[in-house]
């Protein structure tokens, strides 16, 4: 079982279909283990089998008591053509209890559901979260900035869209320079400075400006 899970994790980006086969094999051997159901849900999502992904994520949540795959659950509801249900699913969780990466991913998924319903202004509102800071970059920033830029473009606010698209590119390039995933990188005038971590610790996963 462990070998199949390891192969699924290794192959998920380059060969999702094969990764899914490994996850299926693991589920046949240990279907009551939360990690196995989570892996099966992730690989099903990656292959576009959103109905199976939903079923597996629900089972994973029931077994583990965790909401850390809530964004993929929302996206899977969208995938089966239920944007209204996607919004209900996202609203049902306590966002304050989610980790920051999960909360950001959920905001992006909820924005997508709004777009599915033609609610472009509300889609923009879903992305108006504290993490939408153009001067700081974390691992989740490029995706959030890009989503914000895309919705602004849909609204015809081209100058703002161009600004956020540029911020997404700068953040992505900065994070590729070797900063830790949870470290904050300050972005000023298109330049990047790695944040300094005081006493080896970072409050709330952020670093301080040098």
DSSP string for 35-57: HHHHHHHHHHHHTT-HHHHHHHH
Are 26 and 6 within 8 A, CB to CB?
no
Residue 53 and residue 71 share a domain: no
Which of 85, 111, 126 delimits the end of a domain?
126
DSSP 163-186: HHHHHHHHHHHHHTTT--TTS-EE
pLDDT band at residue 203 using 50, 70 and 90 as cut-offs: very low
Which of 126, 147, 164 delimits the end of a domain?
126
Structure tokens at 65: 């008591």
Helix, strand and coil content of the chain, in percent to the nearest 5, comes to 65, 5, 30
The CATH number assigned to the domain holding 3 equals 1.25.40.10
pLDDT tens-digit profile of 75-94? 999 999 999 999 999 999 99
Residue 134 and residue 176 share a domain: yes
Residue 134 and residue 92 share a domain: no
Are 208 and 195 within 8 A, CB to CB?
yes
Helix/strand/coil for 8: helix
Residues 6 or more apart whose Cβ sits within 8 Å of residue 177: 192, 194
Residues 6 or more apart whose Cβ sits within 8 Å of residue 111: 123, 124, 126, 127, 147, 151
Residue 170 and residue 116 share a domain: no
DSSP bridge partners of 196: 208
Residue 112 and residue 152 share a domain: no
φ and ψ of 81, to 5 deg: 85, 30
What is the pLDDT of the chain when averaged over all its residues? 85
pLDDT tens-digit profile of 24-80? 888 888 878 999 999 999 999 999 999 999 999 999 999 999 999 999 999 999 999
Mean pLDDT score, 119-127: 98
Question: pTM of this prediction?
Answer: 0.81
Residue 38 and residue 78 share a domain: no
Residue 86 and residue 98 share a domain: yes
Residue 167 pLDDT greater than 80, yes or no: yes
What region does 53 belong to: left with phi over 0, alpha with psi -120 to 50, or beta? alpha
Q: What is the pLDDT of residue 180?
A: 45
Residue 51 and residue 73 share a domain: no
Q: What is the pLDDT of residue 207?
A: 36
Residue 71 and residue 61 share a domain: no
Residue 108 and residue 58 share a domain: no
pLDDT band at residue 194 using 50, 70 and 90 as cut-offs: very low
* Percent of the chain surpassing pLDDT 70: 84
Angle subtended at Cα 112 by Cα 83 and Cα 13, rounded to the nearest 5 degrees: 105
Residue 74 and residue 26 share a domain: no
Q: What is the DSSP letter of 33?
A: -
Domain region containing 85: 67-126
Which of 66, 87, 112 delimits the end of a domain?
66
Residue 23 pLDDT greater than 60, yes or no: yes
pLDDT band at residue 4 using 50, 70 and 90 as cut-offs: confident
Mean pLDDT score, 85-114: 97
**How many domains is the chain built from?**
3
Residue 36 and residue 86 share a domain: no
pLDDT tens-digit profile of 170-181? 999 988 844 444
């Amino acid at each position: 079982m462990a070998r199949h899970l390891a192969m699924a994790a290794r192959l998920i980006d380059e060969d999702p279909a094969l990764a899914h086969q490994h996850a299926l094999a693991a589920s046949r051997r240990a279907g009551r283990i939360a990690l196995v159901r989570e892996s099966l849900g992730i690989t099903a999502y990656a292959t576009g089998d959103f109905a199976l992904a939903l079923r597996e994520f629900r089972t994973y949540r029931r077994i583990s008591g965790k909401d850390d795959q809530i964004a993929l659950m929302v996206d899977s509801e969208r995938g089966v053509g239920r944007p209204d249900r996607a919004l209900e699913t996202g609203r049902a969780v306590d966002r304050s209890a989610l980790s920051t990466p999960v909360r950001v991913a959920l905001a992006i998924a909820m924005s997508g559901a709004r777009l599915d319903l033609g609610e472009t202004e509300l889609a923009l509102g879903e992305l108006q979260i504290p993490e939408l800071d153009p001067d700081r970059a974390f691992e989740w920033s490029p995706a959030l900035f890009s989503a914000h830029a895309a919705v602004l473009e849909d609204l015809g606010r081209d100058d703002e869209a161009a600004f956020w698209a540029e911020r997404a590119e700068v953040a992505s390039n900065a994070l590729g320079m070797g900063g830790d995933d949870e470290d904050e990188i300050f972005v000023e005038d298109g330049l990047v400075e790695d944040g300094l971590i005081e006493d080896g610790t970072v409050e709330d996963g952020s670093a301080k400006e040098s």
